[in-house]
Each structure stands twice: as structure tokens, then as C-alpha cells.
């Protein structure tokens, strides 16, 4: 599986934010289909609450067409979310997006509509500082 351009930056940003990467990639087999999400991570929240588990799909939106890259991101997100419902229902899926792309495109009305309709969780990262700038649920 080819890694996204900022795969390592996102991994480092998650670790700096207190997450432990437990799978790189996070793989599941559902029926005859093998699915690989970019990262799986866990974070100890409190002794009585246990671990919070997430899956991260990293998208750089480096395609020449933003809308084509958005098609791919939305499609993967919907499929991966359904895979997690079957194989690991306690894990929450997040789409990781570069901060510069988020600021440029993700406030557009059509994109906001898709995000709301599909209940997207996102993690916005700065690829230069290797830091998480925002969690969106």
C-alpha cells in the first residue's frame, strides 16, 4: 500500500498529541475483501474509562482536481466507517487533512454539506510543524 505524502508527519503529530500508534497500517478482512486504513491509535483517557481508539485515513488532496480527491476521500471514509462498524465498533474513524487544504476548501458550502451529511470526524494537521491543529467531531 502506498503511503500518503504526509503519512509520517501525521503519525508524529498524533504521537505528540499523546496518542500511541498501534497499527501502521490498520488492516481488516471483511468477507473476501482486505481493507487497510492508514493508522490505528489509542490513548489512555482515564483509568475508569479505558482507552479511546481511533482509525486515521490520511488524505493530502494532492490530486490536480480537488473534487476528484474529495470523491476518493468521501468514498474511502464511508467504506472504512462501515468496516469499523463490523470489525471494531469501538474505534472512531477520522479523516486527516492538511491545515492549508482545510482552510482553502473545507469551508465551501458544498463541502460542509457533505461533511455534515456523512458525519465526518476530521483531524487537521500542520505538515510543517508536525502538529495537530484541530479535532473536528
Cα(131)–Cα(5) distance, integer angstroms: 16
Topology adopted by domain 32-38+49-60+67-137: Trna Endonuclease; Chain: A, domain 1 (3.40.1350)
Mean pLDDT (whole number) for 120-136: 95
- Confidence tier at 134 by pLDDT (50, 70, 90): very high
- Across the chain, what does the average pLDDT equal? 91
Residue 131's pLDDT is what? 96
Residue-by-residue DSSP string for 30-89: ETTEEEEESEEEEEEEETTTEEEEEEEEE----SS-HHHHHHHHHHHHHHHHHHHHHH-T
Residue 100's pLDDT is what? 95
Element (H, E) at 136: strand 131-136
Residue 75 has pLDDT above 90, yes or no: yes
**pTM of structure:** 0.92
Amino acid at each position: 500500500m502506498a503511503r500518503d505524502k504526509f503519512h509520517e508527519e501525521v503519525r508524529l503529530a498524533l504521537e505528540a498529541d499523546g496518542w500511541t500508534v498501534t497499527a501502521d497500517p490498520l488492516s481488516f478482512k471483511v468477507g473476501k475483501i482486505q481493507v487497510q486504513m492508514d493508522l490505528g491509535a489509542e490513548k489512555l483517557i482515564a483509568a475508569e474509562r479505558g482507552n479511546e481508539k481511533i482509525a486515521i485515513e490520511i488524505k493530502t488532496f494532492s490530486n490536480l482536481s480537488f473534487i476528484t480527491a474529495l470523491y476518493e476521500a468521501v468514498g474511502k471514509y464511508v467504506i472504512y466507517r462501515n468496516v469499523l462498524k463490523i470489525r471494531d465498533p469501538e474505534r472512531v474513524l477520522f479523516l486527516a487533512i492538511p491545515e492549508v487544504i482545510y482552510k482553502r476548501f473545507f469551508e465551501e458550502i458544498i463541502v460542509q454539506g457533505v461533511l455534515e451529511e456523512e458525519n465526518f470526524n476530521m483531524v487537521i494537521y500542520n505538515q510543517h510543524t508536525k502538529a495537530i491543529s484541530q479535532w473536528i467531531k
